[in-house]
Amino acid sequence: MGLFSKIKEGLRKTKESMVKGMQRVVNSFTKIDEDLFEQLEETMIMSDMGVETSTQICDLLRKRIKERGVTDPAKIMELIQEIIAEMMGDDTELDLSTTPSVIMVIGVNGAGKTTTIGKLCHQYKQQGKKVLVAAADTFRAAAIDQLQVWTERAGVDIVKHAEGSDPAAVVFDAITAAKARNCDVLICDTAGRLHNKKNLMEELRKINRILNQQAEGCAVETLLVLDATTGQNAVSQARLFKEVADITGIVLTKLDGTAKGGIVISIKNELGIPVKLIGVGEQIDDLQPFDNHSFVSALFERAPEEETNETTDSGDE
């Protein structure tokens, strides 16, 4: 299955809930009025695009309809697609331009952090890259054990200390090892204890100091892993993590299992953080680079039967 097909299949539930929901609203009106805008906005909010983003889209929609003299509700979906495409902007790829390049992975437990690291290890190894993993989530013994299983499966090395060790010390040793072994990519797992933000902030600040000193000149990505099925809660997590870390990108997992894919738009628009990777399945290669254009196209692509039905409906009228 190609990348676009995977994204399209992964967004099936979101499309059914969000886009088809908006389409049903538009189809129920014969003229463009304030009731139409209110129902559209409500549908967007219910699809986890968030109040702020939904309101902004509808405000831009009103403006464009007025500017372009649009009177037919059937034209509205094209305008919404245009507005969302502009909000999403251009793609932003991971920066792996140096040897080594460092990827720091943060996120709450259960979001798919360890699985994401495992999948990245496998993919980079398949690409012929030399990968090293730092097990810097030292506060959960299970985290180190789970990571070891993934690294063994992928055939990559791991740097680990005893449970309860200083996470920054693990990162320090891992950077030293990555340089000595001429590794292409160093992936650092970190703890995600949002309930104790002060400790998390201090820990990440310490790790960042080590990175600045030991990995000076290296490309550094800080990826926040979010579970798409949690909807607007994931956006709230992103806001909190943004306070304690310089996040360069989002990894959105379990996108195929939810109708809440509208949070992709909300995250980009409200927080200005690009989604760089998405999980659209359980398989090892189902972690994919995020493509903004494919995302919007997959959401708004019309199925042949939809177009046939529309033609038949207009013929009946």
pLDDT tens profile 133-146: 999 988 877 888 99
**Mean pLDDT, residues 268-296:** 86
| Least confident residue range of 32-36, 245-249, 284-288 | 284-288
CA distance 294 to 231: 21
**pLDDT, position 8:** 77
Q: How confident is the model at residue 12 (pLDDT cuts 50, 70, 90)?
A: confident
Does residue 252 sit in helix, strand or coil? strand
**pLDDT, position 1:** 53
**pLDDT, position 282:** 75
Q: Residue count of the chain, please give it.
A: 317
Full-model pTM: 0.87
Q: What percent of the chain has pLDDT over 70?
A: 92
**pLDDT, position 308:** 39
Judge whether residue 251 has pLDDT over 80: yes
Token pair belonging to 253: 């997992």
Please return the burial class of 253, using the count of CB atoms within 10 Å of its CB with bins 0-12, 13-18 and 19+.
buried
Whole-number mean pLDDT of the chain? 87
CA distance 279 to 276: 11
**pLDDT, position 217:** 93
- Cα separations in angstroms, 41 against 31, 61, 180: 17, 11, 55
**Greatest mean pLDDT among 66-75, 248-257, 272-281:** 66-75
**Mean pLDDT, residues 14-31:** 90
Long-range contacts of 142-145 (CB under 8 A, 24+ apart): 143/109, 143/114, 143/189, 143/191
**pLDDT, position 315:** 44
- Cα separations in angstroms, 297 against 15, 143, 180, 224, 249: 11, 37, 44, 25, 21
33/301: higher pLDDT = 33
CA distance 126 to 296: 29
CA distance 5 to 81: 19
Q: Residue 262: what residue type?
A: G
Q: How confident is the model at residue 85 (pLDDT cuts 50, 70, 90)?
A: very high
**Mean pLDDT, residues 50-69:** 95
DSSP states of 17-75: IIIHHHHHHHHT-SS--HHHHHHHHHHHHHTTS-HHHHHHHHHHHHHHHHHHT---GGG
290/6: higher pLDDT = 290
Q: How confident is the model at residue 310 (pLDDT cuts 50, 70, 90)?
A: very low
Burial 16-39 (b: 16+ CB within 10 A, else e): ebbbebbbebbeeeeebeeebbeb
Judge whether residue 280 has pLDDT over 70: yes
pLDDT tens digits, 152-206? 999 999 999 988 889 999 999 999 999 999 999 999 998 776 656 677 778 888 8
**Mean pLDDT, residues 268-282:** 87
**pLDDT, position 185:** 98
Element (H, E) at 154: helix 141-154
Token pair belonging to 222: 């800080």
Q: How confident is the model at residue 232 (pLDDT cuts 50, 70, 90)?
A: confident
**Mean pLDDT, residues 87-107:** 91
Token pair belonging to 146: 């789970």
CA dihedral over 282, 248, 211, 192, signed as positive or negative: negative
140 φ, ψ (degrees, to nearest 5): -125, 115
Q: Of the candidates 107, 109, 49, 81, which has an alpha carbon nearest to the alpha carbon of residue 252? A: 107
**pLDDT, position 197:** 66
